């Protein structure tokens, strides 16, 4: 069968703010009296983040969900357009060449959605097929890749996947809840897009995908729709669950391709937080150098939900050889993909 090959990756980022500045300028007051809050912000592994709505400039914590959704569409359209246009340019394709346009997001919804609005704005064909990957969370880029890869292989047409997440629109009212403190210390905004083409001789072909969901721990990571935006639930036990499954997922992924851990040239691991990366490093026997791109993305961009692992992949553009892409999210779910040189 014709292989689906990643030939273009690009991202778009809103305004950058400093982690220390946003603590001093907003969250120190927001979490006044919560003793651990300052320590959590300092230990998040984040130096800078991005926001379409910086809490230092405007406090959205009392906004209703409807107002936040209107703002999502307003802010997401230019970011999504920039990311998709950049990925198409990197692939050397025009919008009219695209057969399928998929959008992954868990931070905003509207109908017509980003897929329809951006397809028309960019000049994609009227016969375009579209797909929305909604509310899956931080790992959504990989099932999104799986879906567009299947289309590219079956239809021999190019496809685009856009991950667009605006977590800054979901700042929550002040509560003495450490899970909320952790979420507000980590999460950030970004859009990232990838282009896949059939049988291209450049880029990285998608060679395999493995998924694992531990439904017994479904309550460990949640993303609930409330009257005041979407609210994160994030148990401190998440890294322990990942430690039980990450080794088996990677072994299955590599074994199917006839590879071993030492054959992997690059590890694009979703930096859900410092402890997540520590667990992946320890369970797989990796070095800190092998996780440097993920640590760097966490430090410079924060956790941008589904877009984050694509930011790591973009960071690794010059890495030659097999690349493993991994992400984790609600379920509790692990997804891993193998990319090989085309």
Positions in the chain short of pLDDT 70:
none
User: What are the CB-based long-range contacts (under 8 Å, 24+) for 277-284?
Assistant: 277/45, 278/239, 279/239, 279/240, 279/242, 279/243, 279/246, 280/242, 280/246, 280/326, 282/243, 283/242, 283/243, 283/246, 283/247, 284/246, 284/247, 284/250
* Predicted local confidence at residue 272, as pLDDT: 94
* Predicted local confidence at residue 232, as pLDDT: 94
pTM above 0.95, yes or no: yes
Catalytic residue among 106, 138, 164, 304: 138
* Predicted local confidence at residue 108, as pLDDT: 98
- Say if domain 204-341 classifies as CATH 1.25.40.10: no
Token pair for residue 312?
A: 């790591």
The total number of residues written for the chain in this structure? 342
Look-up: residue for tokens 């025009």? 94
Residue closest to 318 by CA, chosen among 204, 198, 201: 204
| Cβ neighbours for 297, distance < 8 A, ≥ 6 positions apart | 271, 308, 311, 312, 315
State the Cα–Cα distance between residues 184 and 75, nearest whole angstrom: 20
SS3 track for the chain: CCCEEEEEEEEECCCEEEHHHHHHHHHHHHCCCCCCHHHHHHCCCCCEEECCCCCCCCCCCCCCHHHHHHHHHHHHHHHHHHHHHHHHHHHCCCHHHCCEEEEEECCCCCCCCHHHHHHHHHCCCCCCEEEEEECCCCCCHHHHHHHHHHHHHHHCCCEEEEEEEEHHHHCCCCCCCHHHHHHHHHECEEEEEEEEEECCCCCEEEEEEEEEECHHHHHHEEEEEECCEEEEEECCCHHHHHHHHHHHHHHHHHHHCCCCHHHCCEEEECCCCHHHHHHHHHHHCCCCHHHHHHHHHHHHHCECHHHHHHHHHHHCCCCCCCEEEEEEECCCEEEEEEEEEC
The CATH topology of domain 4-198 is Peroxisomal Thiolase; Chain A, domain 1 (3.40.47)
* Predicted local confidence at residue 1, as pLDDT: 74
Q: Are 51 and 165 in contact (CB under 8 A)?
A: no
State the Cα–Cα distance between residues 332 and 325, nearest whole angstrom: 17
State the Cα–Cα distance between residues 312 and 316, nearest whole angstrom: 6
* Predicted local confidence at residue 176, as pLDDT: 86
CATH 3.40.47.10: which residues of the chain?
A: 4-198, 204-341
Token pair for residue 225?
A: 């729709």
Question: Has 304 been annotated as catalytic?
Answer: no
């Amino acid at each position: 069968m014709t292989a689906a090959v990643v030939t273009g990756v690009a991202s778009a980022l809103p305004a950058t703010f400093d982690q220390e500045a946003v603590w001093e300028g907003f969250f120190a007051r927001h979490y006044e009296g919560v003793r651990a809050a300052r320590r959590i912000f300092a230990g998040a592994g984040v130096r800078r983040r991005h926001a379409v709505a910086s809490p230092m400039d405007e406090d959205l914590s009392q906004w209703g969900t409807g107002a936040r959704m209107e703002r999502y569409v307003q802010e997401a359209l230019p970011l999504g357009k920039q990311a998709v246009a950049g990925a198409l340019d990197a692939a050397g394709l025009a919008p009219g060449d695209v057969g399928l346009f998929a959008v992954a997001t868990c931070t905003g919804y509207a109908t017509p959605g980003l897929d329809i609005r951006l397809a028309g704005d960019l000049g994609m064909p009227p016969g375009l097929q579209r797909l929305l990957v909604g509310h899956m969370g931080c790992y959504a880029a990989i099932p999104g890749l799986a879906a567009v890869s299947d289309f590219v292989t079956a239809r021999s047409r190019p496809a685009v996947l856009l991950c667009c997440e605006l977590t800054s629109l979901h700042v929550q009212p002040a509560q003495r809840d450490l899970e909320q403190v952790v979420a507000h210390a980590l999460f950030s905004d970004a859009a990232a897009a990838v282009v896949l083409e059939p049988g291209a001789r450049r880029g990285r072909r998608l060679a395999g995908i493995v998924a694992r969901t531990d439904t017994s721990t479904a309550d460990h990571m949640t993303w609930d729709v409330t009257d005041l935006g979407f609210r994160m639930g994030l148990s401190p036990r998440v890294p322990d669950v990942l430690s039980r499954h990450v080794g088996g997922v990677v072994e299955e992924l590599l074994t199917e391709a006839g590879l071993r851990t030492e054959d992997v040239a690059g590890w694009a691991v979703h930096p859900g937080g410092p402890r997540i990366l520590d667990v992946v490093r320890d369970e797989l026997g990796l070095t800190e150098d092998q996780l440097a791109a993920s640590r760097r993305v966490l430090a410079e961009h924060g956790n941008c939900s589904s877009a984050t692992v694509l930011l790591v992949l973009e960071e690794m553009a010059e890495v030659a050889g097999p690349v493993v892409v991994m992400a984790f999210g609600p379920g509790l779910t692990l997804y891993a993909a193998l990319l090989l040189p085309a």
